[in-house]
Amino acid sequence: MTDTAPLDLSIIVPVFNEAESVAVLWPELRQMLDAQAWRAEVIFVDDGSADGTAETVRAFVAQDRRVRLVRLRANAGLTAALHAGLTRARGQIVVTLDGDLQNDPRDIPALIGHLGAWDAATGWRRERPDPWLKRVSSRIANGVRNRVTREDVHDSACTLRALRRSCALALPPYRGMHRFVPTLLRMAGFRVIEVPVHHRPRQYGASHFGVRNRAWIAFQDLLAVRWMQSRALRYEIEESS
């Protein structure tokens, strides 16, 4: 496989201080991929980790040519890590998932299976084994998002998604946009379906989620998305010679 060879699938995994988790995640991904006929790559994007995550991924790179490492110079946040992976992906289909083992790689084939009728299939964590504060905060956040954006999205921030390559390239490169992927894709004219997916308890490390460190920033991002909705171009061509 050369660097320019076309691929069926790119899997983007943003990671930040997840050395223990990725050591378990890659064998799970490898098992899932080995059962499929896809020409695939897995891109781990290290968002400035300081715990040996990059060294762990380098060992995978040496063992399997499907694995790639993209390492950011410093921690830049989830949207930046996803963007760095998406812009380097070579697959016609792009899948994203968290590196903390809470997303289940076995859900990936089902998500991809929806791309015949849809442009993007986004995960819906219907049952979440998270602490009660995180579950309640997420429910409130989704309710506020839907009220402001006038949509009905169950789980806007779930990282587990399968997208056509054209969808991935259409996402705007701004901080915080990972929270609004279904809305942003629909604004760009794509067909999006939410698919229930499994959600597993965290096994290693501590969650980077926090109500205090996200609520105000997330609300500012929400207002920006609503402004983008209100200013989106809408017109129809009647004739073009």
Query: Are the beta carbons of 134 and 209 closer than 8 angstroms?
Result: yes
Q: What is the mean pLDDT of residues 34-45?
A: 97
| Domains of the chain, first to last | 7-132+152-207 (3.90.550.10)
pLDDT digits (tens, 9 = 90+) for 98-138: 999 999 999 999 999 999 999 999 999 988 766 666 667 77
pLDDT attached to residue 73:
94
pTM of the model: 0.85
Residue 229 has pLDDT above 90, yes or no: no
Strands 161-164, 120-124: pairing kind: antiparallel
148: number of Cβ within 10 Å: 15
Tokens of 22: 């990725």
Nearest-10 crossing angle of helices 53-63, 19-34: 30
Structure-token pair, residue 38: 């896809």
Paired sense of beta strands 91-96 and 120-124, if any: unpaired
